[in-house]
Structure 1
Amino acid sequence: MRQTNYQLFDFLDFDTDLNGGDRLWRACPPTHIEEKSGDIFITIPFQKQNNSNEITPDNSAPRKSYQLRLRAYGEKILRVSVVFDGQISETSEMLEMAESLKVTPLTFEKTENEWLIKDSQGNKKAVVDFRQPETDWWSDLQPAPQETIDIRFYADGKKEVRLSAYDMFSPARHDAFALAYVEKDGKANRATFSVHANPDECFMGTGERFAKMDLSGKTLQMRNQDGQGVNNRRTYKNIPFYISTEMYGLFLHTTSFAKFSLADHSTRSAQVMVEDTVLDTFLIGGDTPEEILFGYRQLTGFPSMPPLWSFGVWMSRMTYFSADEVNEICDRMRKEKYPCDVIHLDTGWFETDWLCEWKFNKERFPDPEKFIRNLRDNGYKVSLWQLPYIAYTAEQYKEASENNYISKSEKKIQGASNFSVQDYAGTIDFTYDKATEWYKGLLKNLLDMGVVCIKADFGEDIHLDAEYHSMSPDKLHNIYPLLYQKAAYEITKEVTGDGIIWARSAWAGAQRYPLHWGGDSACSWDGLAGSLKGGLHFGLSGFGFWSHDVPGFHSVPNFMNSIIPDDIYVRWTQFGVFSSHIRYHGSHKREPWHYPQIASVIKDWWNLRYRLIPYILEQSEKATHTGYPVLRAMWMHHTQDKTVRHIDDQYYFGSDMLVAPVMNPENRRDIYLPEGKWINFFTGEVFEGNQWLKDVVVPLEEMPVFVKYGAEIPVYPFNVDSTDDMDMEKVVRVTFDQDYSFDKIKKY
């Protein structure tokens, strides 16, 4: 449909001919308030509107009333819910509330002009305002505005988040609605609300968004898709949560398809529309972004700590096809002293490439247990690819179909990164406990052999025309990655003791099951820049750990066969070293000796990665019990510096390191140093912050990395083949002061 630039059509999805059976109902001033068991219930009447883009009341229809519920959790979280049909999900797979997060009772007081809602400590939590705008009558050219609802929320008792009561040009021309719902053919179908946005307010998060740091001016679809790269609107990981520079977060608790319009359809409002009959929203306050993200994790769960070996180098490509090929590569890495911990087998370990049957090819991998054991003895862990769809030709198809372990569908799963010729008969149904256990059994056979990690690929798309055990497909679609990854994570931890997967898709709550990577990026400067943008927003969406394919997934312009330039390989390696996890993967040769002009440079960076693992472990541990991710947008540490709101090509790596990847073939870039005193990690040069370093020349073997002056960084003082060789009793701490030099990192 062509854009009309009218909110009713472009955001609320009304048919432009107004003949799709939709009718709008708008909230009016509340009529009643009461307290029940510490919750506040506010009765709100809704007025039907005439079937027109001119928003006028249909006074022939009686009003319908619904209750808005307010519930406080702790001191900084306010849950705002209204049900138009159905019921609120008090628990869900998305929620994993911290034991410390308790419901705080609310009370209310009535005055002539307002209802004041407070918590048990006397903190203001909401105000329902009945005062009318002041007028000085001059003309009746336009009628007075319709009745509306004016509620202000104070999640942390201080900062106001208010509904957009009057976002309009004239009484009949609206750009946002404070609170409304849409009936389709006489039944509640979808709902919307909007909160006021300030002119200089910025928005971030919403998942792995391949966009500028400030998302204001964008309307975002909360619907997972195969991203097919990292330079478009599509994304594998939509998270219905945003964080505002006004210091609040908004989490839409739903699995339904939804939209966020962040100062886009109206620059005065941040709007939410959900294809559901329940609006269930958590407002999260805090004085810092970390506090807000901590509150979000208190609701949806904290990341668990990945194992030590996962922080080493992972080597992969699409794909290795035999045990001999893998052994040759692994032996060469050891012989030539490239440190590495994980060898990943992508689609080629099956009997037929891409035909996922969870079994090794007997000819090319004749003794998988011995193969895995020998690799482990050589310091390598084995990771395996698979996906959650059953093909018609798969060995498991009959069993899965007859036992209803998969959905029933006549259509094929779509997605341009499905490079197989397989027709997928159904999606494994993780809403059915027996199907989940069956799937876990398939993985257990592999984990019992010694495999340590499952690549939980895909999951963004399911059969939407099919039936599932206990959810409708439109409600299951977004949360499917969470159910899928939870199953893979649980069986992996049960068998191996290590909680880890390698996953591409995500929804709210999936941060509990690390780790996630950035999908199918192009081996280009655009792909590198887009990957970092996605990682920054992902870290502002509750996730602690995130990685990406080094040096990009697919070649350009020839998808499988274009040669990767040396400088992209090096620059992406540098970015990988300063990411929570580093994995080489893609459609072309990835092993460094295929790039002989830069192979020695790559080895140096890999050795540096292992030197930094103690610091990465320290920062990763912090990510499991705070609101911090490992890779952080600069705004998390400099909220008063408006410059950093718009910087998406630099980031904090943990609390003490500032990283500015070079993402162009010119070997130069501008670098912004925020407030503070900084030491160049490689040269030891000291800089005062709050300045731009313009057009800095950065030779290919170097990278701009700065450390906070006075910081102590734990490092491992020796080169190793893998993390198996690391004795953490030998870790040393290097102080970054006037006596620092890079020799202290590399001298051992």
Structure 2
Amino acid sequence: MKFRDGMWLVAEGKRLEYAEEVYSINETEDGKKLTLLCPTMQIRSRGDTLNRPTLTVELEAAMDDVLSVQITHWHGALNKGPHFDLFPSGRPTVNANIQKTEKGTTLSAGNLSATVSSTPHTFDIRFHNKTNTHKLTSLQNRSVGLSYSPATSSPMQTSDMRNINHHILTQSTLSVGEQIYGLGERFGALNKVGQAISLWNADGGTSSEQAYKNIPFWMSNRGYGVFIDAPERVELEVGSERCCRVQTSVEGQRLKWYIIYGPSPKEILDKYTTLTGKPGKVPSWSFGLWLSTSFTTEYDDATVLSFLEGMRARSIPLEVFHYDCFWLRAFHWCDFIFSPAHFPDPASSISKLKASGLMNKVCVWINPYLGQASPVFKEAAEKGYLLKRKNGDIFQWDLWQSGMGIVDFTNPAAVEWYVGCLNKLFDIGVDSIKTDFGERIPSKDVVWFDSSLDPEKMHNYYAFIYNKVVYEALQKRFGKDEAVLFARAATAGTQRFPLQWGGDCESTFEAMAESLRGGLSLGMCGFSFWSVDIGGFEGTPDASIYKRWVQFGLLCSHSRLHGSNSYRVPWLVDNDDETEQGCSAVLRKFTQLKCRLMPYLYSTAMESIKHGLPVSVRAMAIEFPEDKTAWLCDQQFMLGESLLVAPVFDESGGVEFYLPAGKWTSFWNDEVVEGPKWVKETHKFDTLPLYVREGSILILGKEGEMRTTWDWTKDVEVKTFFPNEKSSFKLVDPDNKNLATITAVKEGDEWKVKGTDALA
């Protein structure tokens, strides 16, 4: 939202008041908090203290290297929930102190400091490292304010605020060359400078400014991040109202955000996910290939069996079979009952499929909505489990499902009932849940069961509680570390309930690139696990697009073949081309490659969740923060810290990608390329640029490996790539037990590998 008309004028219909000076500073005895009283006029006489607003700025040490900043206008305004679940693993201790000098008052938390200038009649807060050698950002003149819309001409008008919108805004400075990343799964330019962004979950596909996963967190290439502690709609002007500032605004009487000092991206994400929660652990089987029925296709038991037998006949290892929406009866979504006409005995058929080894696990689609044609709608309505309008009616509309209602997860009884429905699915053999939707949650004319909650805040936050309910139900049934979702909607903290996938993309190269940018942005918000619809969701991919999606998708942390109105089994895409460049051969090669990479991939995943790092589609800048070019790369990614992947986005097979400094070894032929440099290559469908970083140690399974979970100490190959004193790899098993720590040690002029005694 823009509040000004250029530099000099206020936007039409708005009244702006800015904090013009710091009038007084109060500090707490424990040295952890400063409270600043900031009038909206420079106070030069006693009369200036009358008939004008003040803004209160509170600076508080939250944990080492993290400070909170809260701006409040009227303190008497209710601060309704929901509130983000912060420090879910406990709040760390903080080393905080306050120092006063002639230049100002400084609050420090660990290595992060905020200095409030002592210059009279100024508003100036600078954020920097403790030694003041690394300046991060600042709040300067006209950077903290409030707005009335429509514009008021007299304070008397604010006696009735029912038709006046009130916003709080901050503008933190952008330095020369500063770049901003994150803010959820955004599909446009990776660097957000120049963009206006509204953090409001929407079912808008992957090719617009809308996003399914709006995360109020961004990261700067200057060594800090900002988490906006606001579940409601947050509007950002990232260098797009004032080119040298990031403007953040919310409707209400207060705005709170946290500034997090790294200085490296890895350190920023580690501290951010300490604040909002570390990603959950996922089972090793979930890394294998998932196959879906697709959305609106016609399928039944026979179709499913034919797909599974077709995959086995082509030696394509399959881990999970997913039943999408139409496992349910039409107009009965989502009542948790298999369509009897298509699946007369689902428990028996699922049991037989598992026993046959055609697949190991089953996933089904659900959403948190109930169509009124189903008997469960009546049951839920009568028991008060559905969201209501202000007049007492159940909230219903015909968007998506006819007359559908929305499950009210703020009602504990509704949660218990919903979990009971899930347990019936688990009883018949379902192992995982695709938690679709959860974005189109109304915020007007609704009342939640918990009436203390603000409907505006519930719009985005619904994704958190919806996925939490299902994830914890899976944990309770299958074990703490055996739960896995396939979720679409998210907000801050939802990384705790993995995994998320990218939503409804088109079957084009352009959409494939959009999806990658979305995954990169989400990964820079503390989400470790991410997937994408291989082949694209909307439309029918031709063989070229399908095979390039396969390459990309199988090198994501999780991999699922899924579409809308067409199947995604490979033999139906290219008329069962049996050559080495055919769809089946490409899918077989990259699925088996992922199985072969499992010792590296799973161990990398377990290390990543400790620090809130993306496993795959890891932005280059996370690994190479000192390389300015790495911050610009949005068509390639790191798979862990050792493997660089550059998907091919062109029918010709041509691809251009960037290799940072060091020696890079082609995974396919051991050819070595010295970086930093841009490289152009042309690839057939059985390869893509896949390079191993200098200093890496890889533990690989045998060629043609067909299993996702196996004994990662047997039949493995240990490969080193220009080892050095930092070369080390910790191999863990699915129980997160350390199996071996492999290191490189220099003996004379040669490097030797140590720690392989446990490997056979």
TM-score by length of 1: 0.86
Partner of 1:238: 214
1:220 and 2:206 matched: no
Given candidates 704, 717, 732, the residue that maps to 2:702 is: 717
What amino acid is the match of 1:102? T
Partner of 1:500: 484
CA distance in 2, matches of 1:161, 1:277: 27
CA distance in 2, matches of 1:87, 1:80: 19
Partner of 2:152: none
What amino acid is the match of 1:165? Q
1:78 and 2:60 matched: no
Given candidates 108, 114, 130, the residue that maps to 1:126 is: 114
Partner of 2:716: 732
Residues 3 and 78 (structure 1), Cα distance of their counterparts in 2 relative to 1, 3 Å cut = closer
Shift, 1:533, TM fit: 0.4
Given candidates 638, 653, 656, the residue that maps to 1:667 is: 653
CA distance in 2, matches of 1:356, 1:708: 47
1:463-497 deviations in Å (ceiling 9; x for gaps): 22321122222110011100100001000111122
1:491 and 2:481 matched: no
CA distance in 2, matches of 1:504, 1:217: 27
Query: Match of 2:28, SS?
Result: strand
Query: Match of 2:212, SS?
Result: coil
Unaligned runs of 5+ in 2: 150-156, 724-759
Residues 679 and 393 (structure 1), Cα distance of their counterparts in 2 relative to 1, 3 Å cut = same
Partner of 2:554: 577
CA distance in 1, matches of 2:194, 2:639: 28
TM-score by length of 2: 0.85
1:694-724 deviations in Å (ceiling 9; x for gaps): 3x22222221110013422122215455436
CA distance in 2, matches of 1:258, 1:124: 25
1:163 and 2:138 matched: yes
Greater shift in the superposed pair: 394-403 or 565-574: 394-403
1:289-314 deviations in Å (ceiling 9; x for gaps): 00000000000011111111110000
CA distance in 2, matches of 1:462, 1:486: 16
CA distance in 1, matches of 2:174, 2:54: 28
CA distance in 2, matches of 1:32, 1:372: 67
Given candidates 630, 647, 651, the residue that maps to 2:637 is: 651
Given candidates 464, 474, 489, the residue that maps to 1:482 is: 464
Query: Match of 1:625, SS?
Result: helix
Residues 255 and 8 (structure 1), Cα distance of their counterparts in 2 relative to 1, 3 Å cut = farther
What amino acid is the match of 2:70? S
Q: Work out whether residues 48 and 61 of structure 1, in 8 Å CA contact, stay in contact via their aligned partners in 2.
A: no
Shift, 1:320, TM fit: 5.7
Residues 484 and 74 (structure 1), Cα distance of their counterparts in 2 relative to 1, 3 Å cut = same
Partner of 1:380: 360
What amino acid is the match of 2:529? F
Q: Work out whether residues 297 and 542 of structure 1, in 8 Å CA contact, stay in contact via their aligned partners in 2.
A: yes
Partner of 1:637: 623
CA distance in 1, matches of 2:103, 2:129: 21
User: Counterparts of 1:137-152 in structure 2 under 5 Å?
Assistant: 148-152=122-126
Shift, 1:679, TM fit: 0.2
1:452 and 2:431 matched: yes
Q: Work out whether residues 333 and 369 of structure 2, in 8 Å CA contact, stay in contact via their aligned partners in 1.
A: no
1:327-349 deviations in Å (ceiling 9; x for gaps): 22112222332100000000111
What amino acid is the match of 1:39? K
CA distance in 2, matches of 1:309, 1:668: 34
Shift, 1:505, TM fit: 0.8
Query: Match of 1:676, SS?
Result: strand
1:567 and 2:544 matched: yes
Query: Match of 1:664, SS?
Result: coil
Shift, 1:283, TM fit: 0.6
Residues 351 and 164 (structure 1), Cα distance of their counterparts in 2 relative to 1, 3 Å cut = same
1:536-592 deviations in Å (ceiling 9; x for gaps): 01100111100000011011xxxxxxx421111111100011100000000212001
User: Counterparts of 1:405-420 in structure 2 under 5 Å?
Assistant: 405-409=385-389, 418=400
Partner of 2:107: 117
Residues 72 and 157 (structure 1), Cα distance of their counterparts in 2 relative to 1, 3 Å cut = farther
Shift, 1:600, TM fit: 2.0
Partner of 1:138: none
Partner of 1:140: none
CA distance in 2, matches of 1:246, 1:93: 26
Q: Work out whether residues 129 and 150 of structure 1, in 8 Å CA contact, stay in contact via their aligned partners in 2.
A: yes
CA distance in 2, matches of 1:511, 1:414: 31
Partner of 2:534: 550
Partner of 2:416: 437
Partner of 2:299: 321
Q: Work out whether residues 664 and 672 of structure 2, in 8 Å CA contact, stay in contact via their aligned partners in 1.
A: yes
Query: Match of 1:396, SS?
Result: helix
State the percentage of identical aligned residues. Answer: 31
Greater shift in the superposed pair: 709-718 or 292-301: 709-718
Q: Work out whether residues 161 and 195 of structure 1, in 8 Å CA contact, stay in contact via their aligned partners in 2.
A: no
Partner of 2:585: 600
CA distance in 2, matches of 1:703, 1:273: 43
RMSD, matched Cα: 2.8
Unaligned runs of 5+ in 1: 50-57, 133-146, 167-176, 556-562, 740-747
Greater shift in the superposed pair: 306-315 or 710-719: 710-719
Greater shift in the superposed pair: 86-95 or 270-279: 86-95
Shift, 1:601, TM fit: 2.5
Given candidates 647, 655, 678, the residue that maps to 1:692 is: 678
